[in-house]
Amino acid sequence: MARSGITGAGIGLRTPHVQQILADENLEIPWLEVLADNWLVEGGLNQHLLMRISERFPLVFHSVGLSLGGGNTLDVDYLNKIKPLKQACGGHWYSEHASFSGNNDFKVADLLPLPYTDEAVMHISNRIKQTQDLLGERILLENVSTYMSCKHNELSEGEFIAAIAEEADCYLLLDINNAFVTSVNLDQQLQAFLNAVPARRVKQIHLAGFHQKDDYLLDAHNHPVDPQVWQAYQDYIQLYGNIPTMIEWDSEIPTLGRLLQERQIAADMMQFNAKPAAGVDRCA
């Protein structure tokens, strides 16, 4: 079982790359992020392959199906599938999104943003506390990309994320691409969001590529990281240190070699920066 800590730049584990990762004994990747939703069927070949990967590489767990901000009862059955799988793989932490995917009457595949209100802060914070109690550890909360603003907003997105983190006492997964997409779509200042997020709670960073539509950006994870996102990332780690960073690429998935080239850009920026992350025990 891999026991080393999570540092440096990793990639998301995607099914087309699994066999190549296992076959290449010389492959060096500091860590991999597992999208738990793809590995929850008990037994079978998939979980066997995941166990083999966990023997060579440190893993962290991420999911999209919990609907932390939803109005329905928290999906304990879902968490009860993730918890033993994460434990069996020696997963270092688990992350989900500051969003909802429906309620008792409907369910969608998208990550829908919550209204940035004090009521919503308390609602999702209570559900994060439930999740943390069930898992027996603090989780990481990720900001999502948005395409319209809610007229009921009382806080900025950064203030909303900060308030949840304090109320729930959770860590944060800062998705700089999501933040950039939102800033362009809503004509907001990216830096204002980054300044509002409590850096001492940021334990992981996501980077990805977006798709340029006619009059907005789509968070499609189907392109290399945009130069403007790279610049924002470089500025962030120069200010706050080398926080574990992962490249997401979920559509039009490239070869493993191309994905690792993208990872290397983040690794090179970290090496050039050479400033350790400060603040909370991010590598615990």
34-49 pLDDT, tens digit per residue, is 999 999 988 777 889 9
Q: What is the pLDDT of residues 92-116, one digit of tens each?
A: 999 999 999 987 777 888 899 999 9
Q: How far out from the chain centre does Cα 172 lie?
A: 9
Sequence-ordered alpha helix ranges (H) in 28-117:
44-54, 76-89
Q: How far out from the chain centre does Cα 132 lie?
A: 17
Report the amino acid identity of residue 130: Q
Task: Count CA atoms within 13 Å of residue 250 on its CB side.
Answer: 15
The CATH number given to 9-274 is 3.20.20.150
3-class state of residue 245 by DSSP: strand
Taking residue 227's Cβ as centre, other Cβ atoms within 10 Å add up to: 8
Q: What is the pLDDT of residues 162-217, one digit of tens each?
A: 999 999 999 999 999 999 999 999 999 999 999 999 999 999 999 999 999 989 99
β-strand partners of 211 = 218
3-class state of residue 159 by DSSP: helix
pLDDT band at 9 (very low <50, low <70, confident <90, very high): very high
Q: Whole-prediction pTM value? A: 0.94
d(CA 59, CA 33): 6
User: Domain spans of the chain?
Assistant: 9-274
Here the tokens at position 82 are 């993730």
